Amino acid sequence: MTTASRRPRIAVHKFSSCDGCQLAFLNLGEPLLALAETVDILHFAEAGPVDEEAEVDIAFVEGSVATSQDAARLRGIRERSRYLVTIGACATAGGIQALRNLHDADEWVSGIYASPEQIDLLADSTPIAETVRVDLELWGCPVSGEQVLGATTAMLAGHLPRVDHSAVCLECKRQQAVCVMVAQGRPCMGPVTSTGCGAICPRFQRDCYACYGPAVQANVSALATHLAATGMPAGDIARRLLFINGHAEPFRSEGRDWQARVITRSGREEEPG
């Protein structure tokens, strides 16, 4: 991608999100400085440069499409970018805000805002790929800065990176982390969640909560059935699935399936008898 005439140009755009993925990028520290010496960073509001209209070789996109302005702005970015790479759960899977897709968002808006007619909200919060073509998707909440850097390096060398979507479990084992599910009975989502995080949570004795999205061929129904057999209520299972990546299949279908098994009575969740 590097030519004698000019350095590669990159941009980092933000949509509906918490800025955490831009921060993960910023937190790279020294490698980011090295990157800045290799490429021209034309737009990266969190870091300083602002030129949203710039034509670039690689556009990183954080956040989901939640409003009609979002969608229009995104189409423009796609036209001005050679590669478009989504970074993080919001951009790749709609994010935590996609939870509203399961509910009547209009009702929420009118319940919260004094002048709901001023709120421009699409019916669903959606991943970038539902609006424009995406060349590469990087998952995570937040995305791993190292993974973004690795992807950038690969694209600068002229190819898309190989992204490992095997289960978190394999990474746990490579890191010599003891399985929190087997040794402590924690409801870990690792067996159905894509690797990429470096198995951070299990290494610190916490069960994975699936922030990197579904692993390749994730057998979500088998894990959910197992969790139910160990005594986890259907509502809890549904919440494990309908969370940061709740809009991504097969989490969405399975999560709704388990949600439907919960009977609501007198405002309190109960398990079907």
Binding site for other proteins (CB under 8 A): 31, 34-35, 38, 149-150, 152-154, 156-157, 162, 164-167, 169-170, 173-185, 188, 190-192, 205, 215-219, 221-223, 225-226
Closest CA to 213 of 238, 187, 189, 186: 189
For the bound state, the minimum distance from the C-beta of residue 215 to other proteins, rounded and expressed in Å, comes to 8
Between residues 66 and 241, which has the closer beta carbon with respect to other proteins? 241
Between residues 226 and 239, which has the closer beta carbon with respect to other proteins? 226
Between residues 116 and 150, which has the closer beta carbon with respect to other proteins? 150
Closest CA to 10 of 90, 87, 91: 87
Between residues 75 and 206, which has the closer beta carbon with respect to other proteins? 206
Three-state DSSP state, 265: strand
For the bound state, the minimum distance from the C-beta of residue 28 to other proteins, rounded and expressed in Å, comes to 11
Between residues 112 and 182, which has the closer beta carbon with respect to other proteins? 182
Between residues 39 and 122, which has the closer beta carbon with respect to other proteins? 39
The total of other beta-carbon atoms located within 10 Å of residue 39's CB is: 19
For the bound state, the minimum distance from the C-beta of residue 218 to other proteins, rounded and expressed in Å, comes to 8
For the bound state, the minimum distance from the C-beta of residue 222 to other proteins, rounded and expressed in Å, comes to 6
For the bound state, the minimum distance from the C-beta of residue 141 to other proteins, rounded and expressed in Å, comes to 21
For the bound state, the minimum distance from the C-beta of residue 190 to other proteins, rounded and expressed in Å, comes to 7
**CA 185 to CA 128: how far, in whole Å?**
36
Asked if residue 216 lies in contact with residue 267, where contact means CB atoms within 8 angstroms, the answer is no
Between residues 164 and 257, which has the closer beta carbon with respect to other proteins? 164
- Helices then strands, counting H and E runs in the chain, come out as 12, 7
For the bound state, the minimum distance from the C-beta of residue 71 to other proteins, rounded and expressed in Å, comes to 33
Between residues 23 and 170, which has the closer beta carbon with respect to other proteins? 170
Output the six-digit token pair for 206: 């916490």
Closest CA to 57 of 42, 72, 44: 42
**CA 69 to CA 67: how far, in whole Å?**
5
Alpha-carbon distances of 253 from 220, 239, 257, 258, rounded to whole Å: 10, 12, 6, 9
For the bound state, the minimum distance from the C-beta of residue 49 to other proteins, rounded and expressed in Å, comes to 19
Phi-psi region of 8 (alpha: psi -120 to 50; beta: other; left: phi over 0): beta
Alpha-carbon distances of 214 from 39, 42, 107, 184, 235, rounded to whole Å: 32, 33, 30, 23, 20
In terms of residues, how long is the chain? 273
